[in-house]
Structure 1
Amino acid sequence: MLLDELVATAERVAATRSRLAKVDALAEVLGRLEPDEIAPAVGFLVGKARQGRVGVGWRGLSGAMGEPADAASLTIADLDAALDELAAASGAGSTAARAATLRDLGSRATGREQDFITRVLLGEVRTGALEGVVTDAIARAADRPGEVVRRAAMLSGDLGETARLALTGAPGELESVGLVVGRPVQPMLAASAPTAAAAIEQVGEASVEYKLDGARIQVHRSGDEVRVFTRNLADITHRVPEVVEVARGLPVTDVILDGETLSLDEDGGPRPFQDTMARFGADVAREVLLHPWFFDVLHVDGRDLLDEPLSARLGELERIAGPHRIPGEVTADPESAERISREALAAGHEGVLVKGVESPYAAGRRGSSWIKVKPVHTYDLVVLGVEWGSGRRTGWLSNLHLGAFDPVGEFGEPGGFVMVGKTFKGLTDELLRWQTEHFAQLETRRTASTVFVEPTTVVEIAIDGVQRSTRYPGGVALRFARVKRYRDDKPAAEADTIQTLRGLLRG
């Protein structure tokens, strides 16, 4: 199949808000793919190429594509093969080899194909084709039950391979996909609630556990062989020898554990999130050690526990990994849940997770059985610039550049503003239309992607916290920022300060 057909489908999906229309468009194109095109095409649509990261970033892409072709000729297989070449390039001469591959690829791609390829390479495909939508489209195209397709995708951790099995596999092959020690599964996800008491009222008796500000890990052990995966199912075993050592010391032969890892300070408290992630992402040993904490077990010595209630899984977890369990209590009392939440926050953690004791492990699903509770901070910040949107938001000013007020000039001119992050989250169509008109009147300069504006518009932003940053001059960046509302009642000089945000940094 020509890549242009896949790009056209991605554009149609991005242009509609209807989930049904998205599924119809995706199912139609999936049903026309050749067997060896299925896995690559699914990866392109969800922004996760099967090759993973291929060593190309913005700097490597800048100008590398060259002039686009006049007519479409590239196939899905051509792009997949080019990504194989990029991923294989290593050692001396790898930069030149990647550049040559990109020049050749770009010379055969049309303008919109170049744009699509760039987004695939950077993991920034935003078509609205989320994995859940694509999974439904696979089921539609293959005429298979949705639950069967979803379970196979969850337990294999590979949506592309699941699509291939669904569309071309023998009868029963898709249904036979099961839990395998050493092969990561999609992690169970949590919904949100404003308070621990509200979460208890929703799920009843629950395990109320500390929500650590660390990195999600999934640990597989078969005999002496241990593999550790991230929440995105990347294998990072070589980066976490201390986690491997803990896993090898457990009194089991085969096990799959779900948990978090984080670094601790000298007093046993959690270090800032950035410290954990810096160590977590390091390919060489660091002085900062990572400590694993487990909150669930999916398999023990030949026994799958996915469909057993949490109460049974926690019993097994206590037996095999008691010293490494995340702190928590089982309770049905809202006041007790609130007490545990306060204790977690006082200990420097994010909040709590409230998990129904009768719930199975729903891999890859965000249901109502697990509920996260953590405080949400809101701050009034100033818009410094706005990026043009893409996909369904093409033609609208979307991604906001956010600045905090610097009254004393600690990071620039006194009375100026210091950039602390970006967000396009929380913007309704009404807000997008309004801000496109509003900021056009405040423009001071622009680039191809961004309109810079007079720093006069105040917007209320909800965040989960901040982290240290070398990217922004104030040394701080927002975490999970989203728009609450615009504050036309507040002048920019009354916005929250960079000093206030820096005060949120722990340590």
Structure 2
Amino acid sequence: MRSVLLIDLARTSAAIAADSARLAKIRHLAELLSRVEPGEAEIAIAYLAGELPQRQIGVGWRTLQDLPDPRQIATATLTEVDQLLSRIKAQSGPGSQAARKDLVHQLFRSLTRQEQSFLLRLLGGELRQGALNGVMIEAVAKAAGTPTAEVRRALTLRGWLPAVGAAALTGGVESLRSFHLEVGRPVSPMLAQSAPNVRAALEKLGGTAALEWKLDGIRVQAHRSGAEVKVFTRTLDDITTQVPELVEAVLALPVDDIVLDGEVIALRPDGRPEPFQVTASRVASKIDVARLRETTPLSVFFFDALRIGGEDLLDLPDSKRHAALERAVPAELLTPRLLTSDAEEGMSFFADVLRHGHEGVVAKSPDATYAAGRRGAGWIKVKPRHTLDLVVLAAEWGHGRRQGKLSNLHLGARDPESGDFVMLGKTFKGLTDELLAWQTERFLALAEGPSDEWVVRVRPEMVVEVAFDGVQRSPRYPGGMALRFARVLRYRPDKRAEDADTVDSVRELLL
């Protein structure tokens, strides 16, 4: 088996981008992965998913200007490219910027025009071709001859698809089953579907559910091994140093081998939540955390346990996981919860949550296992108004008092079949002057063609939470439906595009 060349990935990427059918994307990916050498499998999967094994290599757009002419014949292997990228990342100290640029030119000098284009988009974060995790999972399973469920299970525990895919391709099911939850390595969080009210949520879950307060905070995953604690966000970023209150709370627990799922939130003296932006700003800040802790303290609430006392709990039903959580965590650190099959009781609980200033409830099936990284059918969120997390696909230049600002947003939901985004409508409502200025600068940085004098198309990365009055059928948009009276509530920097609501969940709200 010969080494796979970068040109093989570039051609596969082009084929995936040109083919909108999910099964066709899977077929293209599986064909390539089936002939990747074991040592290059992780690289290939990472590149095709739009990632680098090195994560960041310190190369900005300025370094990628004035690149050398391409060569005519493709010879660069994935290993050679990966090694050069690692060398680029390793440069530090005086003269590192010049050394990094020299290595970048050395790399691009060895590539054909198609390879250069592929690598430029990869380094620039612009490699979007519908090869999202769901498609890649199925492609890995097909190429490795393993059940898709085994790949998903391993991904739940390892958290990074390139490593899981490489294991599947080299060792099949046996290698996939060798993955275990590792304390200190974050797991992709389970996500919730939506329902219009508590009664509908109970019906979806078979009549009985545990209702929990839905806090308007930052999702966190806390890992403790002995005296060491690590805290991760829903996007798996390490924020340990930014949340000392949470670290202290976990260290005070009687169990020293534990992984918990929860939220941190800034509360006012009366116990009501601060605006989401206050919590988000506090958690994001890495400077003068001690002072911020005094002025904007964080509270922590846990609602699930993935591991306690060295025992993995992901495969247990929610009722047993929560019972274990209650034994390990004091009541004041637990998210308020009600187990009920009575819709009236559930709606009273929901109303009490709103009186306390929080978002709504999450209804959970007592039998649901932890579906990491997915919107499992076992969790359903209910809010007092229709809201969706959508992706901004483009923005239109404003006029009048919004002249010179990008204003009207084109909103899209994720299509789980193709991995693309389906436009559901536009909105310019809910945008303050401050938000208009911020999004104009941000969207211009994310701009990608084709654009015109009225519309700037952007890379689909920014998630925005919108409220709306309903969903109606509409021939104007590709999905055949449109949002009624959509308005922006806030941007969600804590969410990725792949976390956005799906077309299927929107379709359930059709009038």
Query: 1:126: which partner in 2?
Result: 128
Question: Does the 8 A contact of 2:262 with 2:303 survive in 1?
Answer: yes
Matches within 5 A, 1:258-273: 258-273=261-276
- 2:358 corresponds in structure 1 to 349
Give distance in 1, aligned partners of 2:62 and 2:245.
34
Q: SS state of the match for residue 53, structure 1?
A: coil
Deviation, structure 1 residue 465: 9.6
Contact map agreement 2:410 2:426 (CA 8 A) in 1: no
For 2:261 and 2:108, how far apart are their aligned partners in 1?
Answer: 42
1:463·1:478 contact (CA, 8 Å) conserved in 2?
A: no
- Pick one of 299, 303, 324 that aligns with 1:316: 324
SS of 1:77's equivalent?
Answer: helix
1:46 aligns with 2:49: yes
Partner of 2:500: none
Once the two structures are superposed, residues 134-181 of structure 1 have per-residue CA deviations (whole angstroms, 9 ceiling, x without a partner) of 111111111112222221121111211212221112772322222222
SS for the counterpart of 1:270 is coil
Residues 461 and 481, structure 1, Cα contact 8 Å, conserved in 2? no
Aligned to 1:195: 197
Distance (whole Å) between structure 2 residues aligned to residue 339 and residue 496 of structure 1: 28
How far off is 1:462 after superposition? 10
Cα-to-partner distance string for 1:236-281 (whole Å, 9 max, x where unaligned): 3233322211110112121110112233345433333333333333
Question: For residues 322-401 of structure 1, what are the structure 2 equivalents within 5 Å?
Answer: 322-374=331-383, 375-376=385-386, 399-401=393-395
After superposition, give the CA deviation of every residue in 1:21-44 in whole Å (9 maximum; x if it has no partner): 111111110011111111111111
Aligned partners of 1:192 and 1:496: how far apart in 2? 19
Q: Residues 421 and 262 from structure 1, CA distance in 2 versus in 1: closer, same or farther, beyond 3 angstroms?
A: farther
Superimposed CA distance per residue, residues 64-115 of structure 1 (whole angstroms, 9 cap, x where no aligned partner): 5454444433322233223323433344444334333333333333343333
Letter in 1 for 2:395: H
CA offsets, 1:344-364, max 9 Å, x none? Answer: 344443332111112111222
Deviation digits for residues 426-445 of structure 1 (CA, Å, limit 9, x no counterpart): 599xxx9xx9xxxxxxxxxx
1:62 Cα deviation after fit? 5.5
Q: Is the 8 A contact 1:259 1:296 kept in 2?
A: yes
Match of residue 299 from structure 1? 307
Counterpart in the other structure of 1:471: 438
User: How far off is 1:129 after superposition?
Assistant: 0.9
Could you give the per-residue CA deviations for residues 355-407 of structure 1, whole angstroms, max 9, x where no partner exists? 111211122232211112233369xxxxxxxxxxxxxxxxxxx932146776x
Q: 2: distance between equivalents of 1:315 and 1:86?
A: 49
Give the C-alpha shift of residue 294 in structure 1. 1.3
Identify the residue that residue 241 of structure 1 maps to in structure 2: 244
Match of 2:105 among 92, 97, 103: 103
Give deviations 1:160-210, integer Å, cap 9, x for gaps: 121222111277232222222222222212222222321111002112222
The change in CA–CA distance for 1:228 and 1:365 in structure 2 (over 3 A counts) is: same
Question: Partners in 1 of 2:91 and 2:122 — Cα distance?
Answer: 18
Q: How far apart, CA to CA, are the structure 1 residues paired with 2:67 and 2:467? A: 34
Contact 2:211–2:346 (8 Å) recurs in 1: yes
Q: Does the CA-based 8 Å contact 2:465-2:489 persist in structure 1?
A: no
Corresponding position of 2:447: none
Residue 425, structure 1, aligned to residue 434, structure 2: no
SS of the aligned residue for 1:425 comes to strand
Supply the distance in 2 between the matched residues of 1:169 and 1:427 (Cα, whole angstroms): 33
Q: The residue matched to 1:104 in structure 2 has which SS?
A: helix
Distance 2:90 2:429 in 1: 39
Aligned to 1:215: 218
List gaps (5 residues or longer) in structure 2.
444-461, 478-483, 493-511
Could you tell me the percent identity over the aligned residues?
39
Match of 1:227, SS state, is strand
Matched residue type, 2:346: A
The equivalent residue for 2:78 is 76
1:172 maps to what in 2?
Answer: 174
Gap change, CA 1:478 and 1:39, over 3 Å in 2: closer
| Count of matched residue pairs | 443
How far residue 230 of structure 1 moved from its aligned partner, in angstroms, is 2.2
Bigger mean CA deviation after superposition, 130-139 or 205-214: 205-214
Matched with 1:393 is none
Rounded to whole Å, the distance in 1 between the matches of 2:490 and 2:224 is 41
In structure 2, C-alpha distance between the alignment counterparts of 1:115 and 1:155, rounded to whole Å: 34
- Using the size of structure 1 for normalisation, the TM-score is 0.76
Residues 68 and 332 of structure 1: CA distance in aligned 2, closer, same or farther (over 3 Å): farther
5+ residue gaps, structure 1: 379-397, 436-457, 489-494
Deviations 1:107-132 (CA, angstroms, capped at 9, x unpaired): 33334333322332243321111112
Q: Distance in 2 between matches of 1:304 and 1:255?
A: 9
Provide closer, same or farther for how the CA distance between residues 363 and 3 of structure 1 changes in structure 2, counting only shifts above 3 A.
same
User: Do structure 1's residue 7 and structure 2's residue 14 form an aligned pair?
Assistant: no
Identify if the C-alpha distance between structure 1 residues 212 and 313 changes in structure 2 by more than 3 Å, giving closer, same or farther. same
TM-score normalised according to structure 2 size: 0.75
Match of 1:205 in 2: 208
Equivalent-residue separation in structure 2 for 1:155 and 1:24 (angstroms): 26
Query: Contact conserved, 2:408 with 2:427, CA < 8 A, in 1?
Result: no
Query: What secondary structure, in the 3-state scheme, does the structure 2 residue paired with 1:169 have?
Result: helix
- Relative distance call for 1:70 and 1:16 in structure 2 (3 A) is same
Change (3 A) 1:298 1:171: closer
Report the equivalent of 1:394: none
* Distance of 2:185 and 2:128 partners within structure 1: 28
Q: Report deviation, 1:473.
A: 6.8
Contact kept? 1:214, 1:262, Cα under 8 Å: yes
Alpha-carbon offset, residue 487 of structure 1: 8.9
Kindly provide the amino acid, as one letter, of the partner of residue 376 in structure 1: H
Contact 1:466 1:479 survives alignment (8 Å): no
Match of 1:140 in 2: 142
Paired with 2:200 and 2:376, the residues of 1 have a C-alpha distance of: 16
Quote the residue 1:251 is aligned against: 254
